Structures are given as structure tokens and as C-alpha cells.
Structure 1
Amino acid sequence: MSVMHKVFANLYQDSVSLMQISAQISQLPGIEQASVVMGTATNLSQLRDAGLDNGCQAGPNDLIIAVRGEEAACAAALELAHQRLNSKPAESNNGGIQAPPLVSLEMAAEQQPDINLALISVPGDYAAAEAIKALHLDMNVMLFSDNVSLEQEKQIKLLAQSKNRLVMGPDCGTAIINGLPLGFANVVKPGAIGIVGASGTGVQEVTCRIDQLGAGISQAIGTGGHDLHEEIGGISMLHGLQALAADPATQVIVLISKPPARPVAERILEQAQACGKPVVVNFLGAAPEEVTRPGITAAATLADAAGLAVALANCTPAPATVTTISAEDRQILQNASASLPATRRYIRGVFAGGTFCYEGQLLCQQQGFSAASNTPVKGNSRLADIWRSQGHTLIDMGDDDFTRGRPHPMIDPTLRNQRIVAELNDAETAVVLFDLVLGYGAAAEPATELLALLNQNSSQSRPLLIAHVCGTETDPQQRSRQIAALRQAGVLIAGCNAQAAMWASQIARIQAEKNGEKS
């Protein structure tokens, strides 16, 4: 195997574009691994850890293409990446002279004074400075970049607070603002439900579920995963909540987060109670009695949050929780498990969405199945070797452990698919639980490569597969098309992430009973 790289001096591309190019060249025959990144110290370290360094010398403003594989394939991959990076936009229809590219926020503000939102996706070392520039230009900010310290995040958000501006992020991957999907968002109907979420895939799950239930979204505001940390104090969530309370198009508000620091939670709940609109709160894993109060409804799961919000918007009774398994579904799971030998005992979860992995762990744990994970919830154990499952195991494949030098599995599911196959080939696996996340920026046909691998591993003795497809009919990948393809391969399709986790727990219980065990 050869390792090759190419450095382009002073060439910047946003991280989503780089991940998409990485995903494209990774699929080329003869390529084992590929990475297209900016030459920051962190990225250079990650290339070394991934075995792609090859003596590469680059500065933070330089762009690096690094590949490992067969020599001819590596050369072809470098050439293709070069072409993609240097491709020019299509000429205007009138053949006129194109305007010079905007190379700063100041230029953008000068040319279009009405701009009031900056989407920032630069290496983390520079993200805070760019966010501060945008705020000084009186712009709101969506900060897609990660690797921004808590100290810098606090500085940015305090400045935003003083200017009455909103900061979504750092590490904010999803938002829908005035009907415009940003980052990894889905195509959903407009409507009366507004969302503020500290989780990208959590926001995707709730917005998609609301769309599937026939309702729509007014705004979906991301905060970044650290906003509800005690040091930050929920500044962005409080601002978003205030904005939705004042928005005449929003009738119901949904708040989503992992459990915040207690003082932060109290501050948010106090403001939610006083906002004058019904609020649904899903603090994943929080006890309902800690959340419920007049005007606030606690939701046990992401899907329940969507269902409750739709019911409140439509003035209809609250729906049953999605964690209740119907008699019909129990029978389907019983029949599907009948051919599994008693030696197949364990749940193996392989997730692209970090919040889906978190919620899955919580629900399996509540059903008596504590799991090891690379991102364990309280009460679960940390996986000793992330490449090897032990007992019940739920893995977040989008965590930094797996994405150093690689695209996120939502963009390129190759590594995640390989892990699913590894779990299928483990004689102790009873059920493989996984998600498929659709939307802008995600893989064009996420089921295709997986189905090819499943068809190669289609023996009668393999474990069961349960999938949850997070998306809508109007997404570029079309949810029903992905579901139909998976079902044809024998995959059981749950309606939401929570239901998928409950089904997997039921199968583990059936298998435990075969062994005379109590779950």
C-alpha cells in the first residue's frame, strides 16, 4: 500500500465541502482511506494518527489531500480531488462578468447591508475570531465549526447577549431559519412549531417526526452541544426561547437537550413557564417530575416530544408514548426471534447520530440492558476497545474516535457499514440496531452500499437487523425509498429511534428467556 499527499498553499474550503470530497475519493477502487483537510495542528496530528501523514508539511491556511491505497489509485484520487477543488462555478446565463468572490464578512456586509446571519465553518482555531467579527457587524451567527473552547464560547455568547444577537453553536450542525435548512437539516413543512435544540440529530428527529405527523416547523434553532453547560448558562437556548415566544408564527415550543446543569435547567424552565406559549421539554434522561410544571410538558423521548407538540398545536389529546410496544409488534418480534439460537444474546447498536446512541442507551438501560459504549450514559461502562464490542454495546460512529481523518458517517457511511457487518458476523449478536440519517449534506443513497454488504451476509443464521430512518419524503434521499430498500433486505424498520431501541430490548429479553435468564 502507498501513502500519498498533496498540499495546496493558501486554499480554504469549508469543512462540509472537504468531507464530501473525502467521501467521494474514499469510494474509488483501490483506496483504503482518504482525507481532505485544512493543515491545522489538530488535523496534522489526526493525519499522523490515521497513518496518512507521510511527512506532510503544511500551515493552517493550506489544504491537504492525503490518501492510502494502491499506488495508481492514490494518484487518481489526488487528481480527482484536485479537479473538484479547482472546479469553477457555472457561467451566468447572460455571459456577464462574475462579481469578485467575497473573501471577508466585511465585504459581504458592505455589498449586502441587509445580511443578518453569518454561517461560519472554518478550523476551530479561527472560528471564535470570525464569530466575533460577525457580531461586531450586527449579524447573528451559526457556528458550524467545532474545537472552540468553553472560554471562547462564553466570550462569544456574552458579546452576542450584549448586542441582542443569536449564536447557534459552536458545533451547531442543524438549523432551519425562516424556512431555510442549514447544515445537516431536512426538508420539512412550514408550520406552527418552533424548536430550540442542543443536539443536531435530536433536532432532525423532532423536525422529521413533526413533518411525518402532518404538522410543520416555524423555526429550528440549534445551540451547540455545550450551551447548557454551567459555565455557558444556556445563553443561546434562552435567547432562542425568547425569540420563539415573540414570534407570531410559533404556537408551540419544543426544547431539546441532554440533561443541563441543574441551575441552568431551572433558569430555562422558569423562562419557558413565563413565555406565554405551551412548551414541550425533552431533557434526555431527566425525570418527568423535574421538568413538568404549568405550561410545560415533559417528553420521555425525542419522538414523544414531536407527538406532544403536534397534539398541542392541533388541540388534540396527547398521544401514547412511542415506547409502548403493541401486541402486533410483540408478535412480529417473537416470530422474527424464533430462529435465533440461544447463543445470540446481545444488542449491538451502530449509530451515525450521537444523540440517537445516547437515547438508545438510556432506553435499553431502562429495560434492564446496560451497554458498553465509547460515549456511555451514566450507569453504562466505557468500552475498553472501541473496535471490539463486549456484551451489549452501543457505538457512536460519529464521535471523534472514529472521524479523525475521515468524513462523518452521515456523509460517508463506509466505516459504519463495516462495523455493522462485523457485528453481523459475531456469533453472540442477537440484533444489530442502526440509524440512517437523511437530509442535506448526508450521503446521496445511504442504503446502497450497506445493502450490497448485507446481500453478501444474508445467511439464515445471521442476527436480526432493526433500523430507524430519520428523514422525510421530500428529502433528497426520499425516506420511503430508503425504507423500501432496507425492508427488501430483511431489515425491520421502526418508526423512530426510541421505538427501535425498545424493539431491540424486546429481542434481547426473548433471547435471555431462552437461556433461562432474567433481563
Structure 2
Amino acid sequence: MLKTIVKKGSYHDSVVLMLLTNQISTIEGVKKVSIMMATPANKDIYRQSGLSTEELESASANDMVVVADVDDDAILDVIMEEVEEFFKKQSTSEGDKKGAESVKSWDKALGKLPDANLAVISIPGAYAALEADRALDEGMNVFMFSDNVTLEDEIKLKQKAHEKGLAVMGPDCGTGIIQGVPIAFTNNVTPGAIGIIGASGTGIQELTTIIDRLGEGVKNAIGTGGRDLSTEVGGITMMDMIEAMESDDSVKVLIIISKPPAKEVRDRISDRLSNFKKPVVTLFLGEKPEYHEENFYHAYTLDEAARLAVGLVRGEEIKEGKVDVDDSQFFGAEEKKTIKAYYSGGTLAGEAAMLIKDALNLKVPPQKAEGFMLKTDGHIVVDLGDDVYTQGKPHPMIDPAKRIECMQDAIDDASTGVILLDIMLGYGSHEDMAGALLPSIVELRDKAKAEGRKLFFVATVCGTRRDFQSYDEAVSKLKEAGVIVCENNKLAVHTAIRAIGLDFEEPAKEIRKKTVAKIEKTEVSEKLIQLLSQKPKVINIGLKSFAEVVESFGCDVVQYDWMPPAGGNVELIKVLNFLRNYEEFAIDEANRSVIAKVVASQPVIKDVVPAKSVIKELNEGKAI
């Protein structure tokens, strides 16, 4: 029986509510539960989950809704006691922290930090583009952690940013480092002479942490978002940041990383990089380069890209690491064992799929359907960070539940010889993911042993020794449980492949003379050079934890405690943003349709509208 509790005007960010949902789901008698804000997008998720109710449908975007499937009404009291206790602890915890100063409007945020140059946005995707547009109007660069932003909005925002000499990083941008300051899901990485521009989150994390553990550092790592190198977007952010990185004297070596890009975009970027004044390492995932060029290096794996960059900084070759493992117990190829790989992010999963296909001699293009990067003859590589798994649910970096469920399914397949996984450390990630997964790993290992089956667990830990979770402790825990722990993802995948009796070869690459393409140089933006040359001044719109981390690195930060204005009505919010640019606004044929909804709901609007009063009334919900 579905029961609904609506908390009017109680706005909380999505990550907090996901963690609360996890906690409530453990209560005995709760068969299914979901706790979200009643935004239009979240209402769709409720419907798809079979949890839609009449009370939910009538709630507004500023209302928190608990929908639970319970047999006993008394369970509702237990649920609400847990909810109240959860938020009480949250409030106490936040009160103990120094924390960035909080405001509740753009005007107040800009009043507190008028020279802010970076907006970090982590609110629901339906609203993120609107707030990003406002940030650009205020002369700020945008880091958009939010996903579910339309392609049309992304193109408009990036074109607008380019025209203003600014950058939009994202949407769905999980990771960034600016002047050594970590943004969003990022590790604590030593600042240094290497710059990175990447379309991915976990890929950048893997690169930066390998570089850190090799003893070098990263000054700036810019995420562009996964669609930036698509035909439609055209690599706007990446091309602009390449120009800025070339002018950044602190960057001695540049790494470019991307999931498979559109060919025409990839070629345009490659042509520009052939003219780059500093050494460049490229990694276009899925390509298997057979040679390097002078000061223009082409990597096959993340590990190779990191080692090349470190070697270029030091002027010496960096050898590949080794895995300390007894391979005498590995399977033979004739046993036809399979690999089941479960990853937190798309780039590491994509690299694993690429290497396994290489070992299997599969000549198929990169693929991704329902989160699967590879699904063939019992071999599985899954990106558990894909939207299909995270919509309305916690990301696998912060919640082990989905990965545990997948591992339990893997053990039921008699062909499974290796379970391969990543452990992501750093800001935003679970405080002890290794510890959270270990009980299930031990249980499944013992179950296989009791059935007379061999089963290898292979893992890579992506992190640095300054990450709060403790890199060495995570590695030690896993090894003590019999997990084969590898220094990086490439070595982990290679070990998993060897464990089932297969292997692949990497070509020894010669260095050829560089082919320099003829290009039209564009002028570098002074605003982007400024972004890369000083600690950012941040207005954080959404997750408070992002503001806390940035502040701990010495940055000026204002926390904008955002709530959906105009009752969450996207069309009315667009009107607010439109009216914001005018002190007085005369209705004519060109704009009549734009404000038709406002006119319909607020008949007192005359031929000339004082924009401030309309905005005030709409924000207060009077015109809805």
C-alpha cells in the first residue's frame, strides 16, 4: 500500500535526499521508498517507479515528498521520526562547520562576492541551464555538475559563453581542478606543471591520481562534459580551453582526454594541437595509435598518458608498474571463463571494454546501451554511473548497493572467473567504499569456494595519499580480503584478462616528425587566462559540500541556497530571467507570446510593466 507524506516548503538537495532514502529503506516493514523534491522531472521518476500518488502529483517543486510502500500505517511514524532525526543531525553537523556564507538569491550572492568568476551548479537539470544563463550574464564561468540538461540548452550556453570569452564546463561535469583547487568529485592532487582538458570525470580522476602517485602534480584540470566533442556541440569548450592552456605559462605539458569523439571534431582538435607550442599527450579512447610525433604523443590508455606526461616534465622515461600476483592459479583460455566488470564511471568502464575487446580480438566499435560498455559471450562491463542507474538514486561513488547487487548476480553465472571493480576516493565519494564492499566480497568469495569454484576479485583504487579516505588503508583492506589490487585501471584490466588465460599486445611506438596542420588561429580569451591563473571566486548553487571543499582550499565562496522560484514552473522562471534585464518592459507583438502565461495569471499587468514588482510577485508565488 502506497503512503505519501508531503513536507511543504522543505527544500533539500538531491544527494542529501538520496542518502536519506537509503537510510529509510533499511527500516523493517518498508518494502519500497523514495524521497525527492516534487519537481516535474522527479514526478516522472516516481511514475516510472510505480510510486506516483495523488498527493505527490499535487505537490510543488519546493515540497519534499516521501512515498513509501508499507503494509502497516504505524511504519509512517517510524519513517518520519527517522527523517526528522536525519535532518537534525545534518543541521548539527553543518552548524559545527565554519562553512561558506549562505544567501537565498542571486542579488545577495553577487552583493557578497561581486568579483565572483565561477558558478558551480549542482541543482536539478531542468533548472540548471537557466541558472547557468544567469551566471554567464553576470560575467562568470560555469561549472555545471548537473545532468539531464538538454542538448539544445548546452549548445546555446556554450555558444553564449564563447562569445563572452567565458567557458561552460559540463553539463554532467563531475570533476575539475583550478589552480590546485578541487571542484566537485575530485581528489586531493598535488599542484604541478601538467594541465588536463577532458570530457570525462573518472578519466580525469584516474589521470590526476596516477600523476600524483608518480610524484608530479596538476595545476589545472578542466572537464568539458561528455557531449562537448559531439558533432552538435563541436568541441566549443575544449577548443577554447586549449587556447587558454597554451597561454598558461605554468603548464609545461598538456593532456587531452576524450571518450570517442565525432570524427570531424576530433580532426579539428588534432589539427589545433599539432600547432601547440608545448608537448601534448592525446588519448581518444578506443583508438590504438601505432606511433608518436615530435612533442605530440598519442596514448592508448590512461596509464600511458599519465606516464608520458610525467616523463616529459622530468625528461626521462617512466616505466609501467608491475602487479604482485601469483599467476600460476590463473585460468587457462580453454576454460572459457568470463570477466564481470562494474565501474563507477564511463571512462574507466570504456577503457576496460576497449582492452577486453582487444584481448578477445573483437573488431566492434565502442558501444553503450543501458549502461553496458560491453556485453558479449558472458563478458560484461557496466558503467554504474550511467543515468539508467542513477536517475533518482545515489551515484555508485557514494552508495555500494547497486554494485553489491551486480556482484551477487555475477556469482550465479558459472562462467564468471573474475569480478573487476574500481574504488573511487576523493571529495564527494563514500567515506569508506572499500570497507562497505568487503563484507559482500568475502561472502561471495566464500560461496564460490564452498561450491568448488575459483573466483578472482581484481580492483583498482583511484586516489591519492592525501584523500581523506586514506589510499593505503583502502588498498590494505582489499588485499587482506584476498583481492588483487592494482596500481591503476589499465593494470587491473590487464590482470583480469590474464586471469582468464588471455592477453593483448601494445605496439612499441616510434617517434615520427610532426605533421603540422594549417589552421586559423583564434585569439585567446583574457577571462579564461584569468580563470586558470588564480584561485576561483565561487558562487556555489546547490550541494553545500562543494562550497565547503573549495573554501577549505582558501577560496572566496558564497553558498547560494537555491530553491525553485515561481513554484518550479520552468516557463515562468524563463519569464523572470527575461524580465530581469529590463527596468520597464512594454508589451508588443514580438514579446507578447513570451509573457502570455504571466498575463494570463496576473491580469493587472498593463502596457508597461515595472519588472521588479513582477519578479517579486512571481517569486512569492502570487502570480501562479
How many Å apart are 1:51 and its aligned residue? Answer: 3.6
- 8 Å CA contact 1:197–1:221 kept in 2: the answer is yes
How many Å apart are 1:370 and its aligned residue? Answer: 5.2
In the alignment, is residue 110 of structure 1 matched against residue 111 of structure 2? yes
In the alignment, is residue 255 of structure 1 matched against residue 251 of structure 2? no
- 8 Å CA contact 2:371–2:388 kept in 1: the answer is no
Q: Aligned equivalents of 1:508 and 1:445: distance in 2?
A: 29
How many Å apart are 1:195 and its aligned residue? Answer: 0.9
- 8 Å CA contact 2:195–2:245 kept in 1: the answer is yes
Q: Aligned equivalents of 1:446 and 1:90: distance in 2?
A: 21
- 8 Å CA contact 1:16–1:441 kept in 2: the answer is no
5+ unaligned residues in a row in structure 1: which ranges? 372-376, 512-519
Query: Hey, what does 1:498 align to over in structure 2?
Result: 490
Q: Deviations over 1:382-420 (max 9, x none)?
A: 58999x996111122222222233211111111211211
TM-aligned CA distance change 1:43 to 1:319, over 3 Å: same
How many Å apart are 1:426 and its aligned residue? Answer: 2.3
Query: Hey, what does 2:8 align to over in structure 1?
Result: 9
Query: Hey, what does 2:326 align to over in structure 1?
Result: 332
Select between 352-361 and 78-87 the one with higher mean Cα deviation. Answer: 78-87
In the alignment, is residue 399 of structure 1 matched against residue 386 of structure 2? yes
How many Å apart are 1:80 and its aligned residue? Answer: 3.0
Q: Aligned equivalents of 1:30 and 1:496: distance in 2?
A: 42
Letter in 1 for 2:168: V
**One of 403, 407, 413 as aligned partner of 1:416:** 403
Aligned-residue CA RMSD (Å):
3.1
Equivalences for 1:504-519 in 2 at 5 Å?
A: 504-509=496-501
TM-aligned CA distance change 1:187 to 1:85, over 3 Å: same
Q: Deviations over 1:223-276 (max 9, x none)?
A: 111011111111111122222222222111111111211221122223223231
Letter in 1 for 2:115: D
Query: Hey, what does 1:148 align to over in structure 2?
Result: 149
- 8 Å CA contact 1:369–1:392 kept in 2: the answer is no
Q: Aligned equivalents of 2:468 and 2:476: distance in 1?
A: 15
Select between 377-386 and 498-507 the one with higher mean Cα deviation. Answer: 377-386
| Higher relative contact order, chain-length normalized (CA < 8 Å, sep 6+) | 2
Equivalences for 1:1-400 in 2 at 5 Å?
A: 3-26=2-25, 34-55=33-54, 56-57=56-57, 58-68=59-69, 75-85=77-87, 87-88=90-91, 101-288=102-289, 292-317=292-317, 319-320=319-320, 332-337=326-331, 345-368=337-360, 378=365, 391-400=378-387
- 8 Å CA contact 1:34–1:406 kept in 2: the answer is no
How many Å apart are 1:284 and its aligned residue? Answer: 0.3
How many Å apart are 1:54 and its aligned residue? Answer: 4.4
Report the 3-state secondary structure (helix = DSSP H, G, I; strand = E; otherwise coil) of the residue aligned with 2:103.
Answer: coil
Q: Aligned equivalents of 1:225 and 1:379: distance in 2?
A: 15
Q: Aligned equivalents of 1:313 and 1:202: distance in 2?
A: 20
TM-aligned CA distance change 1:104 to 1:406, over 3 Å: same
How many Å apart are 1:85 and its aligned residue? Answer: 4.2
TM-aligned CA distance change 1:176 to 1:7, over 3 Å: farther
How many Å apart are 1:103 and its aligned residue? Answer: 1.7
Select between 47-56 and 121-130 the one with higher mean Cα deviation. Answer: 47-56
TM-aligned CA distance change 1:30 to 1:436, over 3 Å: farther
Letter in 2 for 1:114: D
Percent identity, aligned pairs only?
38
- 8 Å CA contact 1:35–1:407 kept in 2: the answer is no
Query: Hey, what does 1:514 align to over in structure 2?
Result: none
Q: Aligned equivalents of 1:297 and 1:233: distance in 2?
A: 23
Q: Aligned equivalents of 2:319 and 2:467: distance in 1?
A: 26
- 8 Å CA contact 1:67–1:78 kept in 2: the answer is no
Letter in 2 for 1:509: G
Q: Aligned equivalents of 1:254 and 1:297: distance in 2?
A: 9
The TM-score with structure 1 as length reference comes to 0.86
Q: Which has the larger radius of gyration?
A: 2
- 8 Å CA contact 1:31–1:74 kept in 2: the answer is no
- 8 Å CA contact 2:286–2:366 kept in 1: the answer is no
- 8 Å CA contact 2:211–2:217 kept in 1: the answer is yes
Q: Aligned equivalents of 2:454 and 2:30: distance in 1?
A: 29
Select between 70-79 and 53-62 the one with higher mean Cα deviation. Answer: 70-79
Q: Aligned equivalents of 1:181 and 1:102: distance in 2?
A: 22
Select between 17-26 and 405-414 the one with higher mean Cα deviation. Answer: 17-26
Report the 3-state secondary structure (helix = DSSP H, G, I; strand = E; otherwise coil) of the residue aligned with 2:468.
Answer: coil
Q: Aligned equivalents of 1:89 and 1:239: distance in 2?
A: 43
How many Å apart are 1:489 and its aligned residue? Answer: 1.2
Q: Deviations over 1:291-312 (max 9, x none)?
A: 9544321111111111111111
Aligned residues, how many?
Answer: 492
Letter in 1 for 2:15: V
TM-aligned CA distance change 1:152 to 1:67, over 3 Å: same
How many Å apart are 1:361 and its aligned residue? Answer: 0.5
- 8 Å CA contact 1:251–1:277 kept in 2: the answer is yes
TM-aligned CA distance change 1:261 to 1:447, over 3 Å: same
Query: Hey, what does 2:442 align to over in structure 1?
Result: 455
Letter in 1 for 2:218: I
- 8 Å CA contact 1:361–1:370 kept in 2: the answer is no
Select between 64-73 and 114-123 the one with higher mean Cα deviation. Answer: 64-73
Q: Aligned equivalents of 1:473 and 1:29: distance in 2?
A: 39
Q: Aligned equivalents of 2:335 and 2:53: distance in 1?
A: 45
TM-aligned CA distance change 1:218 to 1:401, over 3 Å: same
How many Å apart are 1:445 and its aligned residue? Answer: 1.0
Query: Hey, what does 1:515 align to over in structure 2?
Result: none
Equivalences for 1:425-504 in 2 at 5 Å?
A: 425-457=412-444, 458-459=446-447, 460=449, 461-504=453-496
Report the 3-state secondary structure (helix = DSSP H, G, I; strand = E; otherwise coil) of the residue aligned with 1:454.
Answer: helix
TM-aligned CA distance change 1:308 to 1:27, over 3 Å: farther
How many Å apart are 1:510 and its aligned residue? Answer: 5.9
Q: Deviations over 1:131-180 (max 9, x none)?
A: 01000101111011111111110100111111111111011111112222
Letter in 1 for 2:221: A
TM-aligned CA distance change 1:314 to 1:22, over 3 Å: farther
Q: Aligned equivalents of 1:34 and 1:470: distance in 2?
A: 32
